[in-house]
Structure 1
Amino acid sequence: MANAKLICALLLCILVTAPMLNIEASIPCHTVKVDLAACLSYFLKGGIPPPSCCKGVQNVNNAARTTKDRRDTCNCLKTTAKQYHIVNFRFAAALPRFCKVNIRSPISASIDCSRIK
């Protein structure tokens, strides 16, 4: 019985103090790539992005809550675009407008991700 009370007390302490911890979780690059995979044909050819692409853009935008998240997402996208040569940045820059998603920084091949707020 004493062990159950101790466990309950520890769980209560964790629940009370958890919101006070300032932990900045980062969005894994793999998650960003998966969310934006439906945009691949749009990145290559332009046109109108499919709804699944816009949903992915919304998911990434919603997940990038902290400055670190936004910088990590930016670096992930830049690295992936350079690695695979699959992104026409003119099309990518228009994606938020098509998807009606307000992002905090412009989309550009020359963006300095470390300057994103």
Structure 2
Amino acid sequence: MFRKNQEVAEQDKFISPVVFNDISRVAADKVIETILTKHKGKVVFIDFWATWCASCLDAMKEFSPLKQELHAKDIAFVYLSNESSPKKLWEEKIKGIGSEHYYLKGHQWVIPSLL
């Protein structure tokens, strides 16, 4: 799994710098709305992932060529993870992914606005 994550990190790190947005005080039912409002008028690609999820890391690797192709378009790439991923490990892994990241609290992970 570590090797796969390193491969993903190497492929994506040049695409965009990593941006961490702290929305820990945002109500669970406002998380998605808050993210979408920030990117009004753009297509927003949201990826739910975890540091321990091998299929998540595989999907990032598989998606990398398309992400590179779409990078110049007006698309926001947003990555959501939660406390199931140890924060220190998550902070390290997002450096190689680039784009925009949110580390959600447990109560925010159940997102009623998606239902």
TM-score by length of 1: 0.29
Question: Whose radius of gyration is greater, 1 or 2?
Answer: 1
TM-score by length of 2: 0.29
Greater helix content: 1
Say which structure, 1 or 2, has more relative contact order (CA 8 Å, 6+ apart): 2
